[in-house]
Structure 1
Amino acid sequence: MTPKKCLHHWIILLMACVFSTTQAGNSNKLQYMGINLAGAEFNHGTFWPTAQEFDYFKSKGMNVFRIPFLWERIQPNLNQAFDQNQQNNLIASVNEATSDGNYAIIDPHNYARYNGQLIGSNSVTDADFADFWTRLANLFSNNPRVIFGLMNEPNSMPTEQWVSSANAAIVAIRAAGAQNLILVPGNAWTGAHSWEQNWYGTPNAQAMLNISDSGNNFAFELHQYFDSDFSGTNTFCDPNHGSAQFVAATNWLRQQGKKGLLGEFAGANNSNCEQSINSALQHLEDNADVWLGWTWWAAGPEWGEYIFTLEPTNNFTTDRPQMAWLEAFLANGVDDVIFVDGFEATIN
């Protein structure tokens, strides 16, 4: 980089920092609001999102799409080339998501496992995981609107083991030349409510401080459901399981100078769940200085009458009831994301 270009780069970056600080202080707008378009993570099929789905949710004001897929589907053998057809499907989905200035979160939906074996074990090493992310980074490093979600919901493992694996992937991503925003989940299904708890081992609030990124462009991905055990497996929502489940994580993010994104949340069609969802999303809006945004779980053609689906019916003419809950927040719009030299200027 020439001295003149370098000076130009840092002047723009300084302006971005000032602008971002001003925005966080004066507006409660999140940067990303959208949905998981599920299907390619199912074992029994290969249901990638359709263009019609992207168009429908964009028309509602959503600007980010989390795209789950199985690691094994994309890379049938460790340290080997991707399956060409599945790679093409992923690229097509990402291109559809990021058109019109929107964003895609690519999400290996494997719970920190490959064929049932934990990442960081002798069967699936950190080097295997790094190879996988090197290949993904090479595919998408030229698209700044692709966000790299390292892994869906690591669980039932030492938190330190996951931190080591995550750091190996981050090193590989940066070594490939990718500057993209990286989302790092915690252990224990990355629950916001349990971020500071220790029933699963070292708390995320402690261990995740050892995440290291030479590009300084990462955020933590947290998930939250509102039923009695926070699993998101039934129609019941505790009306007290709304904003209250985020307070500790929000305070931690602010104290540590970090950012968070709510990668999964949902509620069934009833008043208690509506109350929980409204409370949670209002909390994120009110704390947009540390929360980047949210993606609802989920939509996709394979769900049928799944309790949380937002997949519209009647050939995309009839909304699911929960869509109205989200539209109240989508109506507020999102903050503009500032890019420097083609990539987002983030401040951790």
Structure 2
Amino acid sequence: MYWSLITGMALAGAVTALPRLDSRQGNGQVKYAGVNIAGFDFGCATNGNCNITAAYPPLQSLGGPDGAGQMQHFARDDGMNMLGGTLDQTNTGKYDQLVQACLATGAYCVIDIHNYARWDNQIIGQGGPSNEQFVSLWTQLASKYASQQKIVFGIMNEPHDVPDINKWADTVQAVVTAIRGVAKSQMILIPGNDWTSAQQFPTKSGPALLKVKNPDGSTDGLIFDVHKYLDSDNSGTHTECVTDNISSAFSPLADWLRANKRQAINSETGGGNTASCQKYLCQQIQFLNQNSDVYLGYIGWSAGAFDPRTYELSEVPSRNGNSWTDSSLVKACLARKAS
């Protein structure tokens, strides 16, 4: 649950036709793997206060790092197929440059609103921005990308301290209904409370969010969105990892998903470029691969506009001419083939 904001983009694979669920475990590999491309989200705090002048677009054309080149590298060299990345027309045009750069890789591209279900510390639909305002935002985004089957809509990054999970489920339902009014088949990521914790999801958010449906009553393309870090306090702020999260989070969640015939994606996880994180993150990803009937994939946090010299969880590759070299954690755990 790293503090970044407003919107994000990620790199991942096919999603419109989801596999039929049954009692068997997966086939040994999740469908989607990728890395978040951060930068446009910089400037927002976890209470929803935002300074948009702090955004640092990961695009050379806008004065930032070569996010487009990073995405091409992750897709071409690392076998990734999913990448994770408001509405003023000028700003939207700038953000769309990143979206188009992501789509040009052939990957599936996740767009997520990255302000923790709140604005100025007031929660959407519960004293803050109204459901109608949030629906309007998503209607505009979904309309813009309705023809792009490789766009994935991530409704909200890491809601937390939401007092009424049932009201939040109503907010999510309103957004799903609005998106489906213009974008019929793209995947939609459904976030819970508690920083969308994979550990808390089966008992705290999941039961309420099970009622969120498509207008036709189905749940096709509605995927639960979960996060989990591996450091001592699950904050994603330490370079050392202490757990693989299997027994405490991903195994119980897998059982719950099977029982309810649903699927999830771990859209944010990561650690330092250290031996402990290589050990535990690789174990966590191996478990997701072994349970690919209910886990669609994982997306690491984060590449993009972070400074790899100072950011603890950097997954920014280094560039030498036309070649890229991954960070040690990406190379060991997140990449799907050797670069």
**TM-score of the superposed pair, with normalisation by structure 2:** 0.81
Say if 1:243 and 1:310 are closer, same or farther in 2 by CA, change over 3 A: farther
Q: Is the 8 A contact 2:26 2:290 kept in 1?
A: no
Say if 1:275 and 1:143 are closer, same or farther in 2 by CA, change over 3 A: same
Deviation string, structure 1 residues 169-203 (Cα, Å, up to 9, x no partner): 11111122442110011100011122245xxxxx1
- Name the counterpart of 1:53: 70
Q: Is the 8 A contact 2:116 2:156 kept in 1?
A: yes
Q: RMSD across aligned C-alpha pairs, in angstroms?
A: 2.3
1:264 and 2:268 aligned: yes
Q: Which amino acid aligns with 1:47?
A: P
Q: Which amino acid aligns with 1:205?
A: G
Q: How does 1:23-38 map to 2 (within 5 A)?
A: 27-38=27-38
Deviation string, structure 1 residues 229-253 (Cα, Å, up to 9, x no partner): 2111112311453564211111111
Residue 25 of structure 1, CA deviation: 6.2
Does the residue aligned with 2:305 lie in a helix, a strand or coil?
Answer: coil
Does the residue aligned with 1:211 lie in a helix, a strand or coil?
Answer: coil
Q: Which amino acid aligns with 2:33?
A: M
Once residues 54 and 281 of structure 1 are traced to their aligned partners in structure 2, the CA distance between those partners, rounded to angstroms, is 21
Does the residue aligned with 1:37 lie in a helix, a strand or coil?
Answer: strand
Residue 140 of structure 1, CA deviation: 0.6
- Name the counterpart of 1:167: 173
Q: Is the 8 A contact 1:39 1:302 kept in 2?
A: yes
Residue 258 of structure 1, CA deviation: 0.4
Higher relative contact order (CA 8 A, sep 6+): 2
* Bigger proportion of residues as helix: 1
Deviation string, structure 1 residues 78-132 (Cα, Å, up to 9, x no partner): xxxx211221122222222122531100011110013432101343111111111
1:230 and 2:234 aligned: yes
- Name the counterpart of 2:80: 62
Task: Give the alignment partner of residue 144 of structure 1, picking from 127, 144, 149.
Answer: 149
Q: Is the 8 A contact 2:306 2:314 kept in 1?
A: no
Does the residue aligned with 1:212 lie in a helix, a strand or coil?
Answer: coil
Q: Which amino acid aligns with 1:297?
A: W
Deviation string, structure 1 residues 153-182 (Cα, Å, up to 9, x no partner): 001112222211111111111122442110
Q: Which amino acid aligns with 2:166?
A: E
Query: How many equivalent residue pairs?
Result: 296
Bigger shift: 239-248 or 87-96? 239-248
1:293 and 2:311 aligned: no
Deviation string, structure 1 residues 291-337 (Cα, Å, up to 9, x no partner): 1101000001333421111112244643211122135x6139xxxxx
Runs of 4+ in structure 1 off by over 3 angstroms are: 19-22, 239-244, 314-318
- Name the counterpart of 1:209: 210
Q: Which amino acid aligns with 1:95?
A: Q
Say if 1:100 and 1:317 are closer, same or farther in 2 by CA, change over 3 A: closer
Q: Is the 8 A contact 2:118 2:128 kept in 1?
A: no
Once residues 255 and 123 of structure 1 are traced to their aligned partners in structure 2, the CA distance between those partners, rounded to angstroms, is 35
Q: Which amino acid aligns with 1:45?
A: A
Once residues 194 and 123 of structure 1 are traced to their aligned partners in structure 2, the CA distance between those partners, rounded to angstroms, is 24
User: Runs of 5+ in structure 1 lacking a partner?
Assistant: 1-15, 68-73, 75-81, 198-202, 333-348
Does the residue aligned with 2:318 lie in a helix, a strand or coil?
Answer: coil
Once residues 26 and 323 of structure 1 are traced to their aligned partners in structure 2, the CA distance between those partners, rounded to angstroms, is 23
- Name the counterpart of 1:310: 315
Task: Give the alignment partner of residue 110 of structure 1, picking from 104, 107, 115.
Answer: 115
**Whose radius of gyration is greater, 1 or 2?**
1
Once residues 175 and 311 of structure 1 are traced to their aligned partners in structure 2, the CA distance between those partners, rounded to angstroms, is 37
- Name the counterpart of 1:93: 98
Once residues 107 and 314 of structure 1 are traced to their aligned partners in structure 2, the CA distance between those partners, rounded to angstroms, is 27
Task: Give the alignment partner of residue 125 of structure 2, picking from 120, 123, 128.
Answer: 120
User: Runs of 5+ in structure 2 lacking a partner?
Assistant: 1-16, 44-53, 60-66
Once residues 147 and 128 of structure 2 are traced to their aligned partners in structure 1, the CA distance between those partners, rounded to angstroms, is 32
- Name the counterpart of 1:189: 195
1:221 and 2:222 aligned: no
Does the residue aligned with 1:210 lie in a helix, a strand or coil?
Answer: coil
Once residues 92 and 115 of structure 1 are traced to their aligned partners in structure 2, the CA distance between those partners, rounded to angstroms, is 28
Q: Is the 8 A contact 1:242 1:278 kept in 2?
A: no
